[in-house]
Structure 1
């Protein structure tokens, strides 16, 4: 099977002024967690599309690698509530 790369679809930046304690963090919440095939010949690079068909260009690659966690789910447990249902269905096949 092709190597799977986990990618994060992030929330868009809010155009309002952030609270002082949030300034400088640069972090955006994860909107959805997707699975994508690795780029050919580059197992750590994301291919152009997720398994549900979304473009991966603006997504962040997760540090979680399913191949390093045999027997575990393909996504990081802390993001279980925002897993893409379509990607999850493909991964279960």
Structure 2
């Protein structure tokens, strides 16, 4: 399998969590973590679809790179509870 990029499907910002001075993106937390093959010819860019088939257009790329963490899971440990089960199943193959 080619290199994998981790992307976040983000929650919508909550009015209660954001302050008037904060950027709207500052409080957006991952709702789901997905795995994406890299874009053709761009090893640092996510391809158009996650391993589970979702469009990556509105998703945010994570700074976490699985290739930089040998022996670790493909996703950041702090988001283990929101990992896409379909992407995870493909990564286990």
Instruction: Structure 2 unaligned segments of length 5 or more: list them.
Output: none
TM-score between both structures, scaled by the size of structure 2: 0.89
SS in 1 for 2:75: coil
What is the match of residue 53 of structure 1? 53
Shift of 1:23: 3.8
Instruction: Give the RMSD, CA atoms, in angstroms.
Output: 1.7
CA distance in 2, matches of 1:76, 1:54: 20
Change (3 A) 1:18 1:65: closer
Task: Report the counterpart of residue 24 of structure 1 in structure 2.
Answer: 22
- 2:69 paired residue number: 69
What are the ranges of 5 or more consecutive residues in structure 1 without an aligned counterpart? none
- Deviating above 2 A after TM superposition, structure 1's stretches of 4 or more consecutive aligned residues are 16-20
Secondary structure, counterpart of 2:90 in structure 1:
helix
2:87 is paired with a residue of what secondary structure?
helix
Alignment CA distance shift 1:19-1:2 (3 Å): closer
Count of paired positions: 91
